Amino acid sequence: MAGYTSDECEKRLLEILASKEGSNLYNELILKNEMNFIHMLKYVASCKPPLAMLIEHLPRLQARPYSIASYGRENQVRIAFAMLNDGKVGLTTHMLESKLLHPNKWDKYLYIYLRQLKPVFHYREEDLEKNIIMIGPGTGMSPYVGFLEFRKHAKVSNRKVKLGTAWLLTSCRYKSRNYLYESELKQHVRDGVLDQLHVASSRDTDSQYKFVQEIIEDKKEELIDLLLDDSTKLYLCGEGRTMLPRIQDTIVTCMSKVKGIPKTEAADLLAEYRKTGKYLYYSMIRY
């Protein structure tokens, strides 16, 4: 980009950013602020690269994965996505929002493909009688909507099935704006499909819990006793870089406190649960 920049100061800045000596500045200016080509072209106004040069260096767009938020027996697929009001625009989520807000402006079709998660993050018929603890902050709770639909279908269609205990721990920014599937989840509680529903909201001033970790800490006695039951499965789904490791660490800490064992022993036990399939962990990918 420096070769297509007319202003000498801006050209020098780009040269420094591209040099080994400028790696610290690159980290501070570019990486920490999540700047891309468009941001840089606005930041360095005299840079006028040809379109071919930009296309050559732009990374190939990756498929955007979404968790299916439905049971799927009616040949329909639901997904949940969040739009952030901080100036950051995701290509796929922005396209989906545009289709919802302006249905007559865009092609109504979406081209999708299904893929099997590895490790498998599933809830099957043999799991119905097991206890389940579902933890999914934000859109991380999407797969659990399908789990609960499956439980409801089983309860209605088969009176002999005895559903295990089900907990759902989730979070949002504002309950009035970002509480996904609120009415549906509350109906599952009323129908006996979901036994406990706990929601944290990080921006509401009157919220009892700001983060999922606070729910886990507050309910640790009952939650850990349920987790240690042989018939319980733990599911954890969400943003995997920072959020899920923090939640997992909170679970380990609470297990250590409740059972009076060293934290390392609790961590080893949770790791063993992952190996045996008692604990299923899915890190949602973001592009």
Instruction: Lay out the sheet containing 131-137: strands in order across.
Output: 196-201, 166-172, 131-137, 232-239, 279-284
pLDDT in tens, 12-61: 999 999 999 999 999 999 998 888 888 999 999 999 999 998 888 887 87
Cβ atoms of 200 and 214 closer than 8 Å: yes
Name the nearest CA neighbour of 284 among 31, 90, 95, 20: 90
Q: What tens digit of pLDDT does each residue of 173-200 get? A: 999 988 999 999 999 999 999 999 999 9
**In angstroms, rounded to a whole number, what is the distance separating the alpha carbons of residues 228 and 254?**
12
pLDDT in tens, 193-250: 999 999 999 999 999 999 999 999 999 999 999 999 999 999 999 888 889 999 999 9
pLDDT of 74 reads 64
241: three-class secondary structure by DSSP? coil
**48-104 pLDDT, tens digit each:** 999 998 888 887 877 888 888 888 766 778 888 777 665 556 778 888 888 888 888
Indicate the angle between helix axes 243-259 and 220-228, nearest 10 degrees: 90
Domain definitions of the chain by residue range:
2-57, 125-284
Model confidence, pTM: 0.79
Could you name the CATH architecture of 125-284?
A: 3-Layer(aba) Sandwich (3.40)
Cα–Cα distance between 103 and 98 in angstroms, integer?
8
Average pLDDT over residues 102-114: 81
